[in-house]
Amino acid sequence: MSFRVATMVLGCALLVGACGSPQEFTGTWERPVGEGFSSLSFDPIDGGYRVRWAKVDGRATVRCDDDGLCEEYFGNDKVCDWKFAARAGEADGELLLEVHGNPVDASTAPVSYVDRLVLEPGGRALEAHPLSTDGAPDDTSRPILRFRKVSDLPL
């Protein structure tokens, strides 16, 4: 699995709810990926959210700890370390999710990006909108991803 594919699977983000409070973002959100799923879990903490990413897709898996530190594996081989951090954005009710990936393979460059998740009316789905990649405004090289809420409880 290529590193670029892994970053596209992630697609995470900022949570903006024109009609919602941060509590509406709390829980677990999921989207299909290949042979499995990718999920994001948000749990409110002081100043932001605790974020966990999980992925199961054939031989690719991801697990995170309570501090947003994640390890991605392909089979038994670790391929990347990921760090997630959610913080309030400039607009009221806005959270930004910053994602940093450090591949184990030294020949592959690290990646970082910021996404914005927009809560859809009804609060049962959200879309991840890329804002920046590696510090530059995103040129739409990453797609908008749609997650559906599968639980009001975080992982």
Q: Which domain holds residue 121?
A: 3-151
Over 70: is that where the pLDDT of 44 sits? yes
Over 70: is that where the pLDDT of 11 sits? no
pLDDT band of 48, cuts 50, 70, 90? confident
Strands 145-151 and 27-33: antiparallel
Question: How many domains does one find in the chain?
Answer: 1
Contact residues for 80 (Cβ-Cβ < 8 A; gap 6+): 3, 6, 71, 72, 101, 102, 103, 104
What was the pLDDT predicted at 116? 84
Q: Output the domain CATH number for residue 67.
A: 2.40.128
| Predicted TM-score (pTM) above 0.85 | no
Judge whether 72 and 57 are in contact, CB under 8 Å: no
pLDDT band of 49, cuts 50, 70, 90? confident
Q: Mapping DSSP to helix (H, G, I), strand (E, B) and coil, where does residue 92 land?
A: coil
| pLDDT tens track for 56-112 | 998 999 989 888 899 999 999 999 999 998 876 666 556 778 999 999 999 999 999
Q: Mapping DSSP to helix (H, G, I), strand (E, B) and coil, where does residue 70 land?
A: strand
What was the pLDDT predicted at 112? 95
